[in-house]
Chains A and B, each alone.
Chain A
């Protein structure tokens, strides 16, 4: 029996889908069986980031409405042997065709087959969000180091805490701008972590390569040159219980700053 983890943020555009894709691919490469579920009905993106759009025949709405069974709708990613599958969202139906019961039964069925069911949540805290978080065992809250994103994440964490998930929500701070950290104009990482009060799973540098990789339909996590890629590798391995110090995600020249930030914790 696997676990289901929802990737959520409240605010849009902070990197939920990118995080889902990268963490899932790393977990799959580490030998875990992973299924990504896109619940952003009507505005699906996960398939495009993974470069699997052309392979979609059936989607989660077809499963929920019993036109096909789950295994028929799963799209296998050929790059990860038999370890990584995608259950795509529907681009044509609207979100109200799903409800907590149907999403719940689909995810529970997937949990029998997979070690990790990674759920890509739609932005906002409305209907689609409620469906996504209601059946999750745990949550990855993604935020950016900016006021709007952190305050939305705060709202989301509040909702998640009221749900008493089996696993406490964990935080990923995404799109950190090195130059802003260096000249002190960014929000401080430890301030964000203290403010939100949930465990920090990892930080990811904002990098052009993240975008170019997803444009090419692959994930940045396997680019050895990329700091962001390395961060995603570390996040996934921390999820598997490995103890990797946070500051490893940035081994670059000029910064003693990271040592300061994380040495303090």
Chain B
């Protein structure tokens, strides 16, 4: 296994940096059920990190811990070299951690442009008063934010639907708009909860390309959950495998694929 704490260079020549996020001995319980049992792992700058595992393994719970939707009972979350105290999701978002959801959480009544624009809310600092007067700083800020949003919209090739209300879009495009909103925040860490769930092959290929491009062009660190093993193996630099709330494997796709415990979990060996 690779030394987790040092920067390394990937096979395709991308430089992976220091540890961005460090999860230490995380345990999460719902009543008597342990959804996550004493899991530690890290995410390094510039990486595409995948979390895989069968249904109910605790993958989404883990993503929810990172994004502050759940606070773990035990363990520490370290982000950018500092221990993160228990936080509300909106506070985590303000730290620069953006996310998408498994079953899409968009503002259905608003246009694509407005949706992506909400991703910029944390980049707007003008006071309520100066916004009301629509002068100086507020105006400049609005222009800057609009430019940033348009870049993201161009990048994800959704120019044609900018003015369409999100509620009218097909599923695949909604997923892309959600990614655009997360990207507009210029996050330090981007969390994708099953970005390709329910997509056809063509849509999956598009989404994979976007994820790689985002990582490549913006240098965004990405942590993602995915069911499609083929996709995960192609996309990610390192993979965590979870089963029944435990971590059973962690390493490069190649290492994980040859891990006996992982093979057992996926092929279904009885648990005793």
A, B in one complex: no
